Amino acid sequence: MTVKEKYQRWLSDEKVTDDTKNQLINYTPEQIEDAFYRELEFGTAGLRGILGPGSNRLNVFVVRKATIGFAKYLLQKYNDARSRGVVISYDNRLFSKTFANEAAQVLSQSGIKTYLFESLRPSPELSFAVRKANAVGGIMITASHNPKEYNGYKVYDKNGCQIVPDEIQPLVEIIDKLGFELDVKVERYVLEGQIIKIGKDFDDDYVKHIKSIEFDNTLSKKDFKIVFSPQHGASYLPAMRVFKELGYEVIPVEEQCVADPLFSKTESPNPEDPRSFELPLEYARKYDADIILVTDPDGDRVGFAYKNSEGDYTLLSGNKTGALMIDYILSQRQRRGFLKNNSVIFDTVVTSSLGREIAKYYGVQSESVLTGFKYIGERIEHYNKTNEKTFEFGYEESYGYLVKDFTRDKDSLQAMITIAELSNYHRLHGVNIDVALDEIYRRHGYSQDKLFSIYFKGKTGFDKMKEIMDTLHEKPLQKIGSQKIVIFEDYLKQIRIDKEGKHVMDHLPKTNLVKFYLADGSSIAIRPSGTEPKCKFYYEAKGACLKDVLKKPDLIHKALLKSLNFEDL
């Protein structure tokens, strides 16, 4: 169907409410085009889109269609899908509870038992709950760190891991064959599946596992203060409970502890955005806190700031936080004799090299996977079956960390306990976090990482983003500014070009990503986001000292845009 035909179908269908039709009538031509020019599709984290009517929007009809497809997928894949069931959770966003209930009803009508959390819970607890219930899958209604206009629909496998592309492709094909979202109907099973409300028992078990993250429970927590914000989201209750039971003094940012879908007391719900720290920083200065921890709305990511040697607060990137965690975790495990010859950490192809250097220092292997924590979860499961390697840590530069594998998704609660402990450990040893970081740099080399994102809205923006990526794939740059490119990696074409020539690079699945390595050791990775209409530029600048690298990512970014003739972006 054309955009116009789909639009008219929504206006005339009796299943669409009058309020929704009025909303459509008031759409501008540009809004109509954007809402109907394509189907909302699965990206790196399932469905995610702007809320509203339309094929390219997230609404109850799109959620129903996705759940019907997921039910069919599970019934084809597992003979015992109906009895083992699916776990559903949701966060604080607009319509999250509505979408969760809709998904539960569809699964029930398909004869599949459903475990539905009684109220909002974080994504990592959903991952944990799938494993605890021995379910065949899970659904999390969330748009993670996206702006308030968004919501999303993430699907998990029986291991509590988001489904990887090879496994999800049959699901995508099933959904595509269902047709127009307004026409899709549930094939009712003779016996409806039971909908079981879950809560305290799962919470208690999850919290017990989170508390096991502590490496050294003998450290005194006296006079150590944490400011914490859940950014109006789902991590508030479990995080506060864990902190309290472990004896930490926590000062919650009260205005941001309310489950508010409009995020009215924060400038941004994304911990990667410095604006999300504005109110927590006010609290930290008022109460003279040692550290600040900020999660995203669904509680899988966490941002970290610390009181520096000058008495003010420094926000750390995901790469630097990950480096601190790796150094602390591996040093603690080495001290206790727990590291093994086959110990391994996981990161991604856009993560900085610093974590890998730290792991190497402790005799630990590292593996880089594609962006998306599902790939880390997949490798954990693989090695748990083969016993070839022992999992020690997994992380992404986008503030996602996993310390123990009782969840198979990034887990802010695990990360917060580890960050709190390492910060307190250094404090008790008279070492500020900036000093601890500098020690890591002096040992492994100085670097500065930075992420730039360029947004492209609507169909025109989508075409512009495609033009950028097509240019990078088809005409690889030879230099950026005055710096020569010594290695080029194309993860879509699966090739690597270096001074030795062209090599096949098929150890990872194809993905729309390119990476450049400069003569001075710096690198740039570029890819379109799988969850938002934007292109992401990841920089890691190398240098002889911190002063050499602080402004280098900005300079490289400017030179890159000039090389691409996109200086106006």
Catalytic residue positions?
144
User: What is the edge-to-edge ordering of all strands in the sheet holding 47-50?
Assistant: 47-50, 150-156, 137-141, 86-90, 114-117, 195-198
| Rounded CA separation 569/565 (Å) | 9
Eight-class DSSP state of 46? B
* DSSP 3-state of 395: strand
**What are the structure tokens assigned to 207, written together?**
């919290």
Burial of 48 (0-12, 13-18, 19+ CB in 10 A): buried
| Rounded CA separation 541/552 (Å) | 6
Give yes or no for a contact between 343 and 383, defined as CB atoms under 8 angstroms apart. Answer: no
Give yes or no for a contact between 123 and 409, defined as CB atoms under 8 angstroms apart. Answer: yes
| Rounded CA separation 54/34 (Å) | 9
Eight-class DSSP state of 184? -
Query: H helices then E strands: how many in the chain?
Result: 19, 23
Give yes or no for a contact between 515 and 489, defined as CB atoms under 8 angstroms apart. Answer: yes
* DSSP 3-state of 418: helix
| Rounded CA separation 350/347 (Å) | 8
* DSSP 3-state of 48: strand
Amino acid at 428: L
| Rounded CA separation 108/188 (Å) | 9
Q: Mind giving me the DSSP string for 136-180? A: SEEEEE--TTS-TTEEEEEEE-TTS-BPPHHHHHHHHHHHHHT--
| Rounded CA separation 364/357 (Å) | 10
CB within 8 A of 112, min separation 6: which ones?
71, 74, 75, 81, 82, 85, 86, 193
